[in-house]
Structure 1
């Protein structure tokens, strides 16, 4: 089952539709403030709700949103959502990709493989509990600090309690094609991230040839800095439309 939230663009607004793709452990509601900012800027915005039970199923959910969009698509992925958009971004309607503190796999590579790279000095990775029935969760006691240290405590407590279990099958699934090989990409590094080490973010972004921007933020950058994230997306989308032009399907 998949759902989407659709914001109608203003007349004469941007000629790209934005598709926002969430990562593991949370759902599409984490994008709400970014969604509001982008809609106010005139974008059509679609927000995916995928199960994180399989990479193939999550990609299919996003591909349905791409097909439903009114304009060519700018795909935006957070965390594990970066793997989803890297695969789904091969859709012909996708013009570019934006990674928000996200994994950027290559063809034949999985998120799990990327996560095996050592972290830099003073950095940490996600404090995961041992797998249970094929699914992963972040240790709830450590979730607030690890995932969203700069988000209000009441929200982080709820996020920790309401985690969406992430299937190991999705984490270990290799990609078949990497859209960043042929399409423009942009990366917003969260320099205070304690889930995906910032050095790993920079390394993946550089390998993909992405235009890199940095922000002093936790992993939950779309929640703690929604105005800045929306501005990053809007600026990147503007670059794409000014370079390619048109509203062809």
Structure 2
């Protein structure tokens, strides 16, 4: 009788131990998700390529982050969203998604991925789902850079050298700006009329860096979009390309996002 009683107690303890495993695993998962995020995916805007993040990347890597810079085709919004989704699929765990300029539309669309735990906008577009972004820009004074947009016969646009150097990257040393101009990537016509069907910033924590000297997107429009998103916002005295002219400030903002567990509002 004593043997049966001892065996019953042992089996009961084993059963309780097995039942507790999912709870322990869930607790471990919750603890892990509450810690700093280790993955950052960077998405470039129009008239540029992934090299525009070249100064930010080493600053993030020095903090132990796994960084991926997406090379967008900039032929259509759908193609760019697909490129970001491919990058997200390769991330091992929670990720902060970062956009410059037009790429704000891309991360707003792709940011509903469950891996994405925060969105960072750098002088970036942030239309609502289905919103007409060109119509939104007309509520503010026009940005000078748009006057330098030139279209080829086959429907691809590029900024003129004058507009690029003065209105797009106006606070870079001229030699650096000219190198940046040399890698300018043409934009496909479909991008200009694209509308997002998702605005992930409604549901994800957001951060926004306003460029106060921006001549590509009106700074007041940037402030409007940041306020509407209830984003944690910083203002940087920079041109449209703060990620190149003041990379430390952009990296710091991204680091804030990787360490936050709740929206900073």
Q: TM-score range by the shorter chain?
A: 0.7 to 0.9
* Equivalent position of 1:239 in the other structure: 260
> Any idea what the Cα deviations from partners look like across 1:180-210, whole Å, max 9, x if unmatched?
1111111000101110010010011111111
Higher Rg of the two aligned structures: 2
Normalised to the residue count of structure 2, the TM-score between the two structures is: 0.81
* Structure 1 unaligned regions, length at least 5: 1-12, 245-249
Offset of residue 72 of structure 1? 0.7
* Structure 2 unaligned regions, length at least 5: 1-34
* Equivalent position of 2:124 in the other structure: 102
* Equivalent position of 1:5 in the other structure: none
Normalised to the residue count of structure 1, the TM-score between the two structures is: 0.86
Question: Is 1:64 paired with 2:60?
Answer: no
Question: Is 1:197 paired with 2:224?
Answer: no
* Equivalent position of 2:247 in the other structure: 226
Check whether the contact 1:110–1:171 (CA below 8 A) recurs between aligned residues.
no
Check whether the contact 1:125–1:197 (CA below 8 A) recurs between aligned residues.
no
Q: Distance in 1 between matches of 2:157 and 2:126?
A: 20
Check whether the contact 1:119–1:125 (CA below 8 A) recurs between aligned residues.
no
* Equivalent position of 1:77 in the other structure: 99
* Equivalent position of 1:206 in the other structure: 227
Equivalence map 1:1-249=2 (5 Å): 14-119=36-141, 124-132=144-152, 133-240=154-261, 243=262
> Any idea what the Cα deviations from partners look like across 1:59-106, whole Å, max 9, x if unmatched?
010011111112211000000010000000011111110000000011
Check whether the contact 1:38–1:45 (CA below 8 A) recurs between aligned residues.
yes
Check whether the contact 1:101–1:201 (CA below 8 A) recurs between aligned residues.
yes
> Any idea what the Cα deviations from partners look like across 1:132-160, whole Å, max 9, x if unmatched?
22222112122111111121211211222
Report the secondary structure of 1:141's partner residue: helix
Check whether the contact 1:21–1:81 (CA below 8 A) recurs between aligned residues.
yes
Corresponding residue pairs, total: 228
Q: Distance in 2 between matches of 1:165 and 1:110?
A: 22
Structure with greater helix share of residues: 2
Q: Distance in 1 between matches of 2:147 and 2:39?
A: 35
